[in-house]
């Protein structure tokens, strides 16, 4: 599956509207926000237990997985191009076996959970909470919509970091280190995305600009946002991935690239790519293979570190309002 999938679930009194942009969407919400009710309506609908007035509008089949892990995984393996809902009360949601089945699937998933799913790569921009936007008695509808928890937005002020922090010490680190040398700001690696929050917390005196691969950082975002509240001078920047920025920068030129970058979801098949980060890595690898810009994630090709290419990456960062 690829592209946006719209799901409308309604009864005589309730209406939910979801716009799914990627293979994994996380749905949060306070008690009584309607999360469990949404799952129950879909479950009842698929088993024929709903009465008149209940409707699900979606161009894909909507399925609720429940029960024991083995049966849920077996059922998932039989599904193709479905929208699969799982509630947080299902313990298999947090298992390694289920996560592996999700990554091998071509379906879209909506996970209703307030906890991070650390074994799954999902975007910081696909974490939503249900917000009740109105209540009407009798047969009128309660409209429930999704609101992003960590919305995509440009920073509203430029920052002056004393340190640039990256997830690891691979290709992205080498580029950010070169940029840091230009602006006289040191660069360091957290040694893995799960260490970003701990690093910021341990260095609260620093004004840290943490740069992470937003396309796969969803499970770690809550802990990072928590420590940022205690470190008022630090920030986290969540571009899709380093490879995404390279493709956006103009370093690599290719026919049709601008169209892909404008609407990547229309080109990313969920059965092939578990996250957008993997898609952009594969795309950059394919476009540069057997060229002077042949890309390796582990070690950055020196041709990316020319003066002109560093300038292109800096210009892209300036355009986001990160710093002067």
Residue 238: name the closest of 163, 162, 126 by CA. Answer: 126
Return the C-alpha torsion angle 259, 26, 109, 210, nearest 10.
50
pTM to 2 decimals?
A: 0.89
Mean pLDDT of 78-97: 94
Is residue 93 packed enough to be buried (19+ CB in 10 Å), middle (13-18) or exposed (0-12)? buried
Q: pLDDT (tens digit, 9 = 90+) per residue, 13-71?
A: 888 889 999 999 999 877 666 788 899 999 988 888 777 788 999 999 999 999 999 99
The predicted-structure confidence for 270-293, as pLDDT tens digits, reads as follows: 999 999 999 999 999 999 999 999
Q: 221-238 pLDDT, tens per residue?
A: 989 988 888 877 888 999
> Would you kindly state where each structural domain of the chain is located, as residue ranges?
5-148, 163-319
**What secondary structure does DSSP assign to 10-51, as a single string?**
E-SSEEEEEEE-SSEEEEE--TTSSHHHHHHHHHHHHTT---
Environment class of residue 275 by beta-carbon count within 10 Å: exposed (0-12), middle (13-18) or buried (19+)? buried
Residues in the chain: 324
Calpha distance 74→138 (Å, rounded): 41
Domain 5-148 of CATH type 3.40.50: yes
In the three-class reduction of DSSP (H, G, I as helix; E, B as strand; rest coil), residue 146 is classed as strand
Q: CB within 8 A of 218, min separation 6: which ones?
A: 24, 26, 116, 117, 121, 122, 123, 124, 126, 127
Closest CA to 215 of 250, 239, 193, 196: 239
> What are the tens digits of pLDDT across the range 90-113?
999 999 999 999 999 999 999 998
Percent of the chain with pLDDT over 90: 67
């Amino acid at each position: 599956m690829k592209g946006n999938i719209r799901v409308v679930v309604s009864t005589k009194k309730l209406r939910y509207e979801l716009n799914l942009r990627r293979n994994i969407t996380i749905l949060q919400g306070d008690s009584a926000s309607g999360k469990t009710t949404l799952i129950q309506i879909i479950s009842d609908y698929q088993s024929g237990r709903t009465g008149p007035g209940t409707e699900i509008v979606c161009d894909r089949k909507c399925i609720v997985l429940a029960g024991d892990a083995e049966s849920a995984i077996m059922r998932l393996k039989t599904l193709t191009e479905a929208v699969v809902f799982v509630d947080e009360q299902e313990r298999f949601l947090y298992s390694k076996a289920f996560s592996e089945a999700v990554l091998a699937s071509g379906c879209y998933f909506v996970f209703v959970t307030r906890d991070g799913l650390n074994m799954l790569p999902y975007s910081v921009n696909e974490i939503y909470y249900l917000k009740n936007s109105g209540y009407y008695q009798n047969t009128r509808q309660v409209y429930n919509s999704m609101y992003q928890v960590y919305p995509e937005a440009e920073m509203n002020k430029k920052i002056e970091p004393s340190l640039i922090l990256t997830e690891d010490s691979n290709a992205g680190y080498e580029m950010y280190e070169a940029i840091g040398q230009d602006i006289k700001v040191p660069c360091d690696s957290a040694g893995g995305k799960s260490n970003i929050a701990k690093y910021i917390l341990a260095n609260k005196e620093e004004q840290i600009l943490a740069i992470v691969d937003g396309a796969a950082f969803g499970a770690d975002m809550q802990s990072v946002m928590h420590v940022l509240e205690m470190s008022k001078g630090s920030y986290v920047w969540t571009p899709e991935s380093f490879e995404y920025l390279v493709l956006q920068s103009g370093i690599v030129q290719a026919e049709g690239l601008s169209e892909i970058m404008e609407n990547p979801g229309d080109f990313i098949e969920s059965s092939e790519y578990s996250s957008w980060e993997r898609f952009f890595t594969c795309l950059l690898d394919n476009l540069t293979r057997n060229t002077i810009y042949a890309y390796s994630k582990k070690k950055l090709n020196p041709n990316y570190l020319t003066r002109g290419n560093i300038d292109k990456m800096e210009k892209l960062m300036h355009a986001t309002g990160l710093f002067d």
